[in-house]
Structure 1
Amino acid sequence: MHVLILGGTTEARRLAELLHGTPGLKLTSSLAGRVATPRLPPGETRVGGFGGAEGLAAWLRDHAVDAVVDATHPFAGTISFNAAQAAATSHVPLLALRRPGWVPVAGDRWHEVASLGEAARALPALGRRVFLTTGRMGLDAFTGLDDLWFLVRSVDAPEPPHPPRMEVLLDRGPFTLDGERELLRHHRIDVLVTKDSGGAATAPKLTAAREARLPVVVVRRPPVPEGVPVLPDPGTAAEWVRHHLGQGPFRGTG
């Protein structure tokens, strides 16, 4: 059995670790190639796009793929919809592995928005010194905010266009609560912008913002394509794969 993991996330690497060495299983992890030095999972890897849904469907056929796990970032909407179309065309089972989203708690001052553009429009009424943690892509949404100062944190350096008043912090999670507290204090941050990526690695910024009573603009994640089963953790996803391999029952809900 050949399983393709559409990866690039912590959950994708963990799933590959759980499945690596399974008898009768060939494992390929696909990375988008947007990070210069990705953390590679065990097993075979490929880097780069497939050429849309048709290209992915052809790759599934040419490489005799028996199942696909979409374990991409919750905001990697294009590849997720391409995967759904390609899997349907190729009659290959598809699972979406998605870490649960964050949930606001007492004391949070969240402003939920549907896009980066909507986040940019909300900012002038919320603060002047922005901690922008949405990654290096999509910064053009904030280019017109000349009166605001941005601290942009990303794994790799962003490319133009981007906000005119900006400092870049190159860093990769997981982050600590003490570190996030100091970052907010040192840079005099008065508003945080984040995507609802979920997970524990980058969640401390939300706690630090809550403690400082800062407003947080949260970009809602796009939906998983209709009809695609969703599981929240690598362990259950590995069980789903082994079930399709004929190596045991599946007791999950995906």
Structure 2
Amino acid sequence: MRLLLLGGTGEARALAAALHPEVELISSLAGRVPEPALPVGPVRIGGFGGIDGMRNWLRDERIDAVVDATHPFAATITAHAAQACAELGVPHLVLARPAWQPGDATVVASDIEAAQTVADNGYARVFLTTGRSGTAAFRGVDAWFLIRAVTEPEPATLPRHHRVLLSRGPYHYEGERALLTEHRIDALVTKNSGGAMTEPKLRAAADAGVAVIMVDRPPLPAGVHAVATVDEASDWVRARVRVR
């Protein structure tokens, strides 16, 4: 059995480790993060060239099943994989880590709506953790931003008043609480990525009385089969190995 594992997340690396070498798998990374943490086994890096490119690659590489364990906000690759697999009749699974419970957070649908919420509420010092691609929506907001990202955002996308903090998780409660205090943060903007690696900022914000604005994750394509844990995904793959 040949499995394509769409990865780039901790869950994808854990799944690759659980299946290797029992299953012949190829992990695929988008290539947007420098020096990514690599899973065990063969790895390809880069895009597929849209739905047509993915469909052709799956056919040419004789892929028997696909597990999509990409980031919950990687909506384009998730949609392309779902469509290509449906057209080819290739079994397809999405491993989607559970979303955070928003609690008292203000839930918005997009970065643009998050920026408008910051402006409407007059927040002055904002901890922005939506990644390098999420900064452009905040360019016109009259506030100071502590922007945390893995890679440097494009200068043209940055708000006027900011500091960029290049960092890669996991993060811990004490460090997150110290950041909020040191920079006098009054609002945290985050995507609802879920998972434990970056969740401590939510607990720190709640304890510090910092408002939270949470961008809701995009919905999964209609009809896809999704599981929430690495164990469930591993069982799904192994069931198909046994059938073959």
Would you call these one fold, judging by a TM-score over 0.5? Answer: yes
Matched, 1:170 2:157: no
From 80, 89, 93, the equivalent of 1:82 is 80
Aligned counterparts of 1:201 and 1:243: Cα–Cα separation in 2: 29
In structure 2, runs of 5+ residues without a counterpart are none
1:251 paired residue number: none
From 99, 105, 110, the equivalent of 2:105 is 110
From 124, 130, 147, the equivalent of 2:126 is 130
2:114 paired residue number: 119
* Kept in 2: contact 1:99–1:199 (CA 8 A): yes
Aligned counterparts of 2:30 and 2:138: Cα–Cα separation in 1: 24
**Amino acid of the residue matched to residue 151 of structure 1?**
L
Matched, 1:150 2:148: no
* Kept in 1: contact 2:3–2:65 (CA 8 A): yes
Quote how far apart the aligned CAs of 1:161 are: 1.7
1:196 paired residue number: 192
**Amino acid of the residue matched to residue 55 of structure 1?**
G
Superposed, 1:211-222 pairs within 5 Å as 211-222=207-218
Aligned counterparts of 1:232 and 1:126: Cα–Cα separation in 2: 37
Runs of 4+ in 1 over 2 A off after TM superposition: none
Aligned counterparts of 1:139 and 1:247: Cα–Cα separation in 2: 47
**Amino acid of the residue matched to residue 52 of structure 2?**
E
Aligned counterparts of 1:215 and 1:80: Cα–Cα separation in 2: 31
**Amino acid of the residue matched to residue 191 of structure 2?**
K
**Amino acid of the residue matched to residue 10 of structure 2?**
T
Superposed, 1:11-22 pairs within 5 Å as 11-22=11-22
**Amino acid of the residue matched to residue 59 of structure 2?**
R
1:247–1:18 distance in 2 versus 1, CA, 3 Å: farther
Root mean square deviation of aligned Cα: 1.2
Higher share in helix: 2
1:101 paired residue number: 99
2:9 paired residue number: 9
1:252 paired residue number: none
In structure 1, runs of 5+ residues without a counterpart are 249-254
Aligned counterparts of 1:183 and 1:161: Cα–Cα separation in 2: 23
Quote how far apart the aligned CAs of 1:89 are: 1.3
1:57 paired residue number: 55
Q: Secondary structure at the match of 1:150?
A: strand
Quote how far apart the aligned CAs of 1:184 are: 0.3
- What TM-score do you get using the length of structure 1 for normalisation? 0.93
Quote how far apart the aligned CAs of 1:164 are: 1.5
Quote how far apart the aligned CAs of 1:241 are: 0.4
Quote how far apart the aligned CAs of 1:177 are: 0.3
Instruction: Output one character per residue of 1:194-245: Cα deviation in whole Å (capped at 9) or x when no partner.
Output: 0000001100000000001111000000011111111001111011001011
From 40, 44, 47, the equivalent of 2:45 is 47
Q: Secondary structure at the match of 1:137?
A: helix
* Kept in 2: contact 1:99–1:198 (CA 8 A): yes
**Amino acid of the residue matched to residue 66 of structure 2?**
V
**Amino acid of the residue matched to residue 207 of structure 1?**
R
Among all aligned residue pairs of Structure 1 and Structure 2, give the percentage whose two residues are the same amino acid.
54
Quote how far apart the aligned CAs of 1:126 are: 4.8
Q: Secondary structure at the match of 1:64?
A: coil
